[in-house]
Structure 1
Amino acid sequence: MDAISLPVLFGILLLMLVLSAFFSGSETGLMTLNRYRMKHLAKTGHGGASRAAHLLDRPDRLIGLILLGNNLVNIAASAVATVIGIRLFGNVGVLVATVTLTVFVLIFSEVTPKTLAALHPERVAYPASYVYTPLLRVAWPLVMVINLAGNGILRLFGVSADDAAAHSLSSEELRTVVTEAGAMIPRRHQQMLLSILDMENATVEDIMVPRNEIVGIDISKSWPEILEQLVHNQHTRLPIFDGSIDELAGIVHMRRVLALVSDDNLDKDALLGLAREPYFVPEGTPLNQQLLNFQNQQRRIGFVVDEYGDIQGLVTLEDILEEIVGEFTTDPATRVKNVYMDGDDSYLVDGTVTLRSINRAMGWKLPVDGPKTMNGLITEHLETIPQPGTKLKVGKYILEIAQTRANLVQTVRVKPPKRRVRRAPGEDLNSDDKASKADTER
């Protein structure tokens, strides 16, 4: 050291600080990389991403290499700074070098590069991977010795370096990723992705058509009445039953019926001959599983049955798809069935409307973890069949019984909570009221 001039020592010290900044920043950059984006870039042929992914397959080796390099340059910088301090200030130069080097290392070799790498990990990590890949091959014997010692200590605590994190996402974590994607994923696409995740929490009971609303052909009726049903039918596939839906004969496709009509060969026997064997679905089947079942069975309609085999309702492939993409109809008047505005701040809702459908259509948050319909929600809370005029509060929603029929709540008046609208500075109260009213009507 005595033979080296001060300018050269300062140059060596500066080089050590730069190398220390490189090791510190690249460590933070590599460890904070978005693993899924990195894998995507690697699949597209990105060289830096491919090398970074290979390095992160064994993080213990990478950390060993980084710490080895970082400690070497920091110790070398300390030695050089001490020599410079002694030459400039004598014995007190040791203290001066220690304090000065600590400040410089902390600011320029730790905080600054690590902050930069945390904010822009890809800009730091991918170029650094080109350095670490050959460096790991050169320093492999020394890194291996260090890792053997470190991993041996970890095993004492029951930790194995082979158990690298799989970085798999749960459904809730994936939901957070989709929600926080922002403008990278259009809002409409976000809703569809979240709806797919919600399907595992919903069952066929949540979306089925109740048995009392199933439209079909009653073969026990006279032929003119059957023809009348066929003429005024609005569905492509119709169940055929004998007197009751429990006496289900099958499903008939209207296209095949029209073929017989054109040949003037349609009668009851011919109609029954066209019927396909019905497909039954156990209640409680999750929607994501039922979607696969429809695909595997090549079916579009299934009848939901309880544990006793009694038909509870009907579920279609279209119903499940609407859970993902929303209602297929584009007519605002038919988008929300059996829901009508009643004044400026309330709605008349049919008691048979399912809670999931009205929540999706109206943007409400009525509880769906219990009863499936509005009628079921009310009777569960009141534990009796209410009289017209009875009011109750469910969460932030005020429900008033408008009409009842026998043992069923027929119509309910729902008053949802008012939505708060943020008012811009200088905006008057009237404009806020108008915006709130328009938001509610939408």
Structure 2
Amino acid sequence: MDDIPLSALFGLLFALLACSAFFSGSETGLMTMNRYRLKTRAQKGDRGSRLAQSMLQRPDRLIGTILLGNNFINTLAASVATLIGLRLFPGETGIAVATGGLTLLLLIFGEVTPKTLAALHPERFAIPAAYVLWPLMRLFWPLVWLVTLIGNGILRLIGVSPEDAAQHSLSTEELRTVVAEAGAMIPRRHQKMLLSILDLEKETVEDIMVPRNEIVGIDISEPWPAIRDAIINSQHTRVPLFDGSIDHLKGVVHLRRVVRLAAENTLDVPGLLALAREPYFIPEGTPLNQQLLNFQNQKRRIGFVVDEYGDIQGLVTLEDILEEVVGEFTSDPATRIKNVYADADGSYRVTGSVTIRSLNKNLGWKLPTDGPKTINGLLLEQLETLPQPGAKVEVAGYVFEITETRANAVKSTRVWPPQAGTSGARKMA
């Protein structure tokens, strides 16, 4: 070895340091690369991405290959550094200089720098490295197999299975974080829609249903002229038919099928019932994501929420669920109920039928949602007595003053949220 020029030894050492940097950067780049972006590139036909994706399916074998190469390179670099040290400083001084110098070089150029660069730009390392690591994994397969076999055996002793690496999936909350942190890659409106889809499983049909006392329908017990006028002037496409009260529901009629007949006076009550479709009932507590699928499977657009006794509690439509995802998509003033108004003093005038969830969602309030669903129910629960105009109730820092009652229920109230003076004044439709 004494006949090898010193310059050649330095060149070999720098080459080994470059190889060490390659293995170190490859490990970090492959392990930190976005798996979904990698999968997308692989599906588009990128060969390097397909190789990287294939190797990452068994990270134990990939890490075994990288560490075999890295340790071999570092060991060889240590030998070369020792030769250089003995050439420059004979004796123990040369060994000490070689050890200290190589440790510093490996730390800076073989570990910290390449791994930092790979962590910041994983694709620059991962994709090109796949072309090199793939044949190395095949070339040194027997040795890689032996090393991973021993390593996996130790992992199984502590209850870890390497085969589970490809089975990890994102939880709902993790997916929510991914969407929220997508930044400019996903437009803000699309982010809100995606997050709203994830929220569907947390909400039930009671959260969005129209209460039974607000269901608009046609009472077939009334005289025919009144029924005919209700059909012609209705602002809804599908209307429930009931006999006397909503508890005696007879069906749901699509007005497109009957409005012309009603206008031509060629329709009567039996004919109206014949054109109606049987009602579709929804058990209370049904999550919105499940109900969306139920509407699709049953080919329905409207359903009636019933409690455990079979009594109708409210009405839910397909549009109601879709609006939870995309927001209000109707601009017709006739189909919107303006039931929350902001005043200049920071207070809000709210009708008792408004849902607590809609207030929290639209105004950013933090009223409790684990009990009653509406403002009327919340105030009755807090009062524990029949409501009277002028009565005040404080709930979670929000002050409610009952302004109007009707039939032992809160018709309207005024609400002062915490720090009402700084609240944004706006009207919620």
TM-score, normalised with respect to structure 2: 0.94
For 2:160 and 2:171, locate their aligned partners in 1 and report how far apart those are by CA, in whole Å: 23
For 1:369 and 1:189, locate their aligned partners in 2 and report how far apart those are by CA, in whole Å: 29
Verify: 1:414 aligned to 2:399, yes or no. Answer: no
Q: Which moved more, 1:392-401 or 1:253-262?
A: 392-401
For 1:333 and 1:89, locate their aligned partners in 2 and report how far apart those are by CA, in whole Å: 94
Verify: 1:214 aligned to 2:199, yes or no. Answer: no
Residues 386-405 of structure 1: matches in 2 within 5 Å?
A: 386-405=387-406
Residues 362-441 of structure 1: matches in 2 within 5 Å?
A: 362-418=363-419, 439-441=424-426
Contact 2:307 2:313 (8 Å CA) reproduced: yes
Q: Tell me by how many angstroms 1:167 deviates.
A: 3.0
Residues 302-341 of structure 1: matches in 2 within 5 Å?
A: 302-330=303-331, 337-341=338-342
Q: Which moved more, 1:41-50 or 1:52-61?
A: 41-50
Q: Which moved more, 1:331-340 or 1:48-57?
A: 331-340
Residues 50-199 of structure 1: matches in 2 within 5 Å?
A: 50-91=50-91, 92-199=93-200
Measured against aligned partners, the alpha-carbon deviations of 1:229-279 in whole angstroms (never above 9, x if no partner) come to 223311111111111111111111111112423553111121121111111
Measured against aligned partners, the alpha-carbon deviations of 1:347-390 in whole angstroms (never above 9, x if no partner) come to 10000111223333334333323211111122223333343333
Contact 1:335 1:361 (8 Å CA) reproduced: no
Matched length: 426
- Which residues of structure 2 form unaligned runs of 5+? none
The percentage of counterpart residues that share the same residue type is 67
Q: Calculate the aligned-residue CA RMSD, in Å.
A: 1.9
Q: Tell me by how many angstroms 1:87 deviates.
A: 1.1
**335 and 358 in structure 1: CA distance in 2 versus 1, 3 angstrom threshold:** farther
Letter in 2 for 1:176: T
Contact 2:212 2:314 (8 Å CA) reproduced: yes
For 2:303 and 2:319, locate their aligned partners in 1 and report how far apart those are by CA, in whole Å: 11
| 2:294 aligned partner | 293
TM-score, normalised with respect to structure 1: 0.92
Verify: 1:248 aligned to 2:249, yes or no. Answer: yes
Contact 1:306 1:312 (8 Å CA) reproduced: yes
For 1:412 and 1:27, locate their aligned partners in 2 and report how far apart those are by CA, in whole Å: 63
For 2:20 and 2:61, locate their aligned partners in 1 and report how far apart those are by CA, in whole Å: 19
**What secondary structure does 1:151 align onto?**
helix
Letter in 2 for 1:269: P
Q: Tell me by how many angstroms 1:86 deviates.
A: 1.0
**What secondary structure does 1:308 align onto?**
coil
Contact 1:216 1:240 (8 Å CA) reproduced: yes
Letter in 1 for 2:50: S
For 1:366 and 1:332, locate their aligned partners in 2 and report how far apart those are by CA, in whole Å: 28
**What secondary structure does 2:410 align onto?**
strand
**274 and 334 in structure 1: CA distance in 2 versus 1, 3 angstrom threshold:** closer
Contact 1:327 1:335 (8 Å CA) reproduced: no
Q: Tell me by how many angstroms 1:9 deviates.
A: 0.6
Contact 2:343 2:425 (8 Å CA) reproduced: no
Q: Tell me by how many angstroms 1:149 deviates.
A: 1.7
Q: Tell me by how many angstroms 1:333 deviates.
A: 10
For 1:161 and 1:338, locate their aligned partners in 2 and report how far apart those are by CA, in whole Å: 57
Query: Which of structure 1's runs of 4+ aligned residues deviate more than 4 A?
Result: 331-336
**What secondary structure does 2:163 align onto?**
coil
Q: Tell me by how many angstroms 1:440 deviates.
A: 3.5
**362 and 374 in structure 1: CA distance in 2 versus 1, 3 angstrom threshold:** same
Contact 2:235 2:334 (8 Å CA) reproduced: no
Q: Which moved more, 1:386-395 or 1:43-52?
A: 386-395
Q: Which moved more, 1:16-25 or 1:267-276?
A: 267-276
Measured against aligned partners, the alpha-carbon deviations of 1:252-311 in whole angstroms (never above 9, x if no partner) come to 111111242355311112112111111111111111111111111111110111111111
For 2:316 and 2:201, locate their aligned partners in 1 and report how far apart those are by CA, in whole Å: 16
**What secondary structure does 2:90 align onto?**
helix
| 2:235 aligned partner | 234
| 1:427 aligned partner | none
Contact 2:242 2:248 (8 Å CA) reproduced: yes
**What secondary structure does 1:83 align onto?**
helix
Contact 1:418 1:440 (8 Å CA) reproduced: no
**371 and 303 in structure 1: CA distance in 2 versus 1, 3 angstrom threshold:** same
**What secondary structure does 1:243 align onto?**
coil
Contact 2:231 2:259 (8 Å CA) reproduced: no
| 1:37 aligned partner | 37
Q: Tell me by how many angstroms 1:158 deviates.
A: 2.5
